[in-house]
Structure 1
């Protein structure tokens, strides 16, 4: 593999446990689960140590309140902390068994890292913390995972928070990860939609890590329940029900650069479906989208803002407005929802479908 360590940087209900499963399907790769932000405590200790050393020089006399502060060694602290983490996270493994190790953590929203004991705003603390992790893991792959705001807002404990505050928190995270990770060769951004729709971005992540893309293993992981549904304790949170209509990309040999389908609701009846379709830059014909459910046809609202696609495909001006929405589509048991591209007013091509889980 290309890295000695791998950290998943994300927030709650982003699909991080599923990503954890994919990473652990790689031979020689061990990515542990959450640890209540263990490294943040090390970061706080490092900041305190640096501050004591730099603010209290000339304290070599025993009569000084800061006696010995000048002898503190931040670099050695990082080395020692790295060894502590290695022993903790590799517990139970055999020597030589693991080539790349790390963990995933969901406590990376700026509000999670706010600390009055540290100087600076929560955003500045966030950036300093990520830079510290880079020192702690000098040969590390940082995999930043995001997810559609609407999906997060309707998932787990986020339902108890105002939607506008959820959107603001995730937008702040998105901006910070771009400010910090932009241009870094060891930082890779992937979205939950890329994982569940197995877009080319998922394979690119394996290439980034220097790991083989084993489709059979990946399909096995994607077909296995992850997250809280696997907990057996009485107070475990109830798992989210599996989608009754599973998204499936069919955009082979089509003039598209990106096609993603958002997960569908789990019950029959009126629903709003969405996703992103970005055409290639070589298409000059007028194009439109429409959807069908059996013999019924539905209008698709297209060319809505898609900022994440714009970041991913900076050379394609269409990527900035690739999101689509289908309002009021009637989900019928056993009947798929097909998404079509009409090119030049005549040629029709199937881009994808939401297939009932029984089909």
Structure 2
């Protein structure tokens, strides 16, 4: 189970300095989906909820920002120049203390970097320039089908989003393999390759979601048959469920 927690400080200063990131009063919803699992329908359904503003795909642009944050945060040379590690090393190697902060240091300047501020500034720009919220949006987010391209980074990716995007929640969406593989979306791959990707997605999302109340696992099959099957999704989002209104939204035929 991840030990990552959202930033504890949620003050006027954070809202002032990062207005786009803290714009939605009820946080974020990210649809993490496998290709051709019905994520566009989920996007459409979420946008039918009052105050929801859920964008479509963005070529997984957010992963590159999260990688950048993690590259610095997990770099040993950076951590050595942060307290309390810096003072500990100086006690053992006085020359290190004399070097840090001068142009003789090969990592000159990293002692002044604040990873949290760097991350918040990056994500504030992402919201203002990529998500670009409009109107009285109280919940922001987007859907993406490329999260699973790097299974090893997936947990850190979601953890980073969870830490810096206030009140962030995740909908992990998939569909039965037999139906997914029929889509022309996968026609350039062999069935074995599609199966491998599908199984990887199932594994990383189910493993991550275990025992986390901010994750919800959704199947396209939940849209079929009785609309009542979607009630748990509304409960997860803490939104009122109207079966008739939901059925009307789902009756819209999407072509893409």
Structure 2 residue matching 1:216: 3-state secondary structure? helix
What is the distance in 1 between the residues matched to 2:70 and 2:131?
Answer: 26
Using the size of structure 1 for normalisation, the TM-score is 0.56
Tell me, yes or no, if the aligned pair for 1:206 and 1:213 is still in contact at 8 Å. yes
Q: Which residue does 1:107 correspond to in 2?
A: 146
Mapping for residues 341-356 of structure 1, pairs under 5 Å: none
- In 2, Cα distance between the equivalents of 1:2 and 1:46? 25
| TM-score normalized by the length of structure 2 | 0.77
CA contact (8 A) 1:15 1:192 kept: yes
1:175 corresponding residue in structure 2:
203
Q: By how many angstroms is 1:156 displaced?
A: 2.3
Aligned length: 215
Pair 1:221 & 2:249 matched: yes
Contact 1:13 1:156 in 2 (8 A): no
Distance 1:92 1:177 in 2: 27
- Aligned to 2:147, the other structure's residue is in SS state coil
TM-superposition CA deviations, 1:46-73 (whole Å, max 9, x none): 0222225226665311122210112211
Distance 1:41 1:186, change over 3 A: same
Matches within 5 A, 1:120-131: 123-131=151-159
**What are the Cα deviations for residues 61-94 of structure 1, in whole angstroms up to 9, with x where unaligned?**
1122210112211111222123223323553613
Structure with the higher helix share, 1 or 2: 2
Q: Distance between the aligned counterparts of 1:202 and 1:12, measured in 2?
A: 20
Alignment of 1:72-83 (within 5 A): 72-83=113-124
The verdict on how the C-alpha distance between 1:73 and 1:16 changes in structure 2, with shifts beyond 3 A counting, is same
Match of 1:210 among 238, 248, 251: 238
Gaps of 5+ in 1: 114-122, 229-359
1:212-231 residue CA offsets vs partner (Å, 9 max, x unmatched): 22233322321212251xxx
Partner of 2:153, secondary structure, is: helix
Q: Which has the higher strand share?
A: 1
Per-residue deviation, residues 124-183 of structure 1 (Å, max 9, x unmatched): 312111111111324111011010101111102213322122112111111111211100
2: CA distance, partners of 1:204 / 1:220: 18
CA contact 1:28–1:98 (8 Å) conserved in 2: yes
Number of the residue aligned with 1:187: 215
1:55 to 1:156, Cα distance in 2 relative to 1, 3 A: farther
Alignment partners' CA distance in 1, 2:217 and 2:146:
17
SS in 2 for 1:31: strand
Which one is further off, 179-188 or 157-166? 157-166
- Secondary structure, counterpart of 2:170 in structure 1: strand
Task: Identify the residue that residue 71 of structure 1 maps to in structure 2.
Answer: 112
Question: In the superposition, relative to structure 1, how do residues 92 and 188 fare at CA in structure 2: closer, same or farther (>3 Å)?
Answer: closer
Partner Cα distance (1:2, 1:195) in 2 = 28
1:8 aligns with 2:31: yes
**Which is greater in Rg?**
1
**Highest RCO, 1 vs 2 (Cα 8 Å, sep ≥ 6):** 2
2:185 is aligned with 1:157: yes
* Structure 2 portions without partners, runs of 5+: 1-23, 87-95
